[in-house]
Amino acid sequence: MLIKTIFAGFGGQGVLSMGLNLAQAAMLEDKNVTYLPSYGAEVRGGTANCTVAISNEEIASPVASSPEFVVAMNQPSMIKFQNRLQSGGVLFINSSLVEAEASRGDITVVNVPASSVAEDMGSPKSANMVLLGAFIKKSNLASLSSVIQGLKGTMGKKQKQMAVNEKALQAGYDLF
């Protein structure tokens, strides 16, 4: 099994964090993982994406020319990366920010109102965690408990922020 996922959005939306958290969770589950971030020089507000490959065998290349999953936090990312998705793949969209419809009929689209859910929780910056929670539930690439455990390692002593992120992950997970 080799599964590749591209997470994409604007810098500052937590796209790289989503990928890193998935990668850490998969490592905690003793899977082989690669994490390949890519972002523009301007970082916040510019484009950002990362590729996460998860396998039970060695991974030859971290590059995903035709990934099984694409997670798009905004409309430009959805438009750009939907065409890289392999036939039969799954496109996760932050439907709170993406108004355009996917132009392909050979993929599954999962609409997640991540920004709306995060705003309703009083934490608009946690939209990435809402979308990651939904992605974890639908993709089954890692368990929610592994994602939370990995996130605790990343967050360290930021307990208040950790509590918000855990709540957002659970909210996204519970959408499906």
Residues 6+ apart with CB under 8 A from 129: 14, 18, 118, 165, 168, 169, 172
Here the CATH number for the domain that contains residue 17 is 3.40.920.10
pLDDT digits (tens, 9 = 90+) for 26-61: 999 999 999 999 876 655 567 799 999 999 999 988
Task: For residue 161, give the DSSP letter.
Answer: H
Which structural domain, as residue segments, surrounds residue 126? 2-173
Number of domains in the chain: 1
3-state secondary structure of 94: strand
- Global pTM value: 0.93
| Spatial separation of the C-alpha atoms in residues 170 and 176, rounded to whole Å | 11
